């Protein structure tokens, strides 16, 4: 049996490929934009870039499962004047182009890794909650989800949509990596008075859930939220990261309202909200319908994330 994985050389994709190879059930074909010397031995390569006009025929030959990870993600210094159109071209039109060709090629199941941002930026979310995407990235992900459901309504191919929150693990980048560096350097962090709750998902937990959704009979034509199953406040996350590093957690009790005001003046309100606000996901559906439980504890996942490469 053969599985096609897009985004196979990315942060999640590398761990997914390694896990599938270890289990030895599936033959792996990786869709890559260029020669990828980092792929493990035994992985087939298909040179395809996700886009609205990409021809996927050879890549989909004899494939039973597609796991679609590749996406245009947040661009820190956006150079285009129409960011939404750029996100749509890859994340919506590119995804649906692949899905239509996968259905025509006889693929049995298409697993799409979307984002909790489809629901919004703050709150407690369940699968049944309305979509409320607030930026171009989230809008493009939502449009892809809508299109997948339309394809699934008329094609024999099953789809599964997964909406993860922030993913962390070895080699994590962006704001999570900045936070880890600050803790490692012993920097005082003015977050001791924050009383929020954030859902996260360790990379190995997400990989396990992706494979569950790829193979479980009850996952077909459905949508699931996923997390570590334990929500953390920002101060608790810092303390547990510090413990995993063997470093002290230096937390200063600065009022969150003052931090929000300062961040607004600096034009970094969005970054502040990720540290100060709450965003939780309810994974009851995944537990009940799929019998899934996160296999890696939060503390173990944090230790993996901070371990030297």
Q: Nearest 5°: CA angle at 110, between 216 and 49?
A: 145
Question: Any idea of the CA torsion for 18, 138, 234, 293, to the nearest 10 degrees?
Answer: -50
Sign of CA dihedral 265, 271, 272, 278: positive
Active site residues: 137
Please tell me the number of Cα atoms within 13 Å of 143 on its side-chain side.
20
**CA-based nearest residue to 229, from 133, 164, 161, 141:** 164
Q: Nearest 5°: CA angle at 10, between 6 and 15?
A: 90
**CA-based nearest residue to 160, from 96, 66, 246, 244:** 66
Q: How far apart are CA 258 and CA 134, in angstroms?
A: 24
Q: How far apart are CA 211 and CA 307, in angstroms?
A: 25
């Amino acid at each position: 049996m053969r599985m096609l994985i897009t985004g196979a050389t990315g942060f999640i994709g590398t761990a997914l490929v390694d896990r599938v190879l270890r289990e030895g059930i599936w033959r792996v074909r990786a869709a890559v934009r260029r020669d990828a010397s980092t792929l493990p031995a035994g992985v087939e390569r298909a040179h395809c870039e996700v886009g609205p006009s990409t021809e996927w025929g050879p890549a989909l030959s004899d494939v039973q499962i597609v796991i679609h990870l590749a996406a245009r993600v947040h661009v820190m210094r956006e150079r285009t004047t129409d960011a939404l159109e750029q996100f749509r071209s890859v994340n919506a039109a590119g995804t649906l182009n692949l899905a239509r060709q996968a259905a025509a090629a006889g693929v049995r199941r298409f697993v799409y890794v979307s984002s909790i941002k489809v629901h919004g930026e703050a709150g407690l979310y369940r699968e049944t909650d309305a979509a409320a995407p607030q930026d171009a990235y989230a809008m493009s992900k939502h449009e892809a989800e809508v299109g997948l459901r339309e394809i699934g309504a008329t094609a024999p191919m099953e789809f599964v949509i997964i909406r993860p929150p922030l993913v962390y693990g070895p080699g994590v980048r962006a704001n999570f990596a900045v936070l880890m560096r600050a803790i490692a350097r012993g920097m005082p962090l003015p977050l001791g008075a924050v009383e929020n709750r954030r859902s996260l998902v360790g990379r190995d937990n997400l990989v396990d859930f992706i494979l569950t959704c790829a193979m479980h009979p009850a996952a077909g034509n459905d949508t699931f939220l996923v997390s570590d199953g334990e929500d953390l406040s920002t101060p608790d996350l810092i303390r547990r990261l510090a413990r995993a590093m063997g470093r002290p957690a230096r937390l200063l009790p600065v009022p969150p309202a003052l931090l929000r005001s300062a961040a607004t003046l600096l034009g970094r309100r969005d970054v502040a909200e990720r540290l100060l606000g709450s965003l939780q996901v309810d994974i009851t559906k995944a537990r009940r319908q799929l019998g899934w439980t996160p296999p890696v504890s939060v503390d173990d996942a944090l230790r993996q994330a901070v371990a030297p490469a």
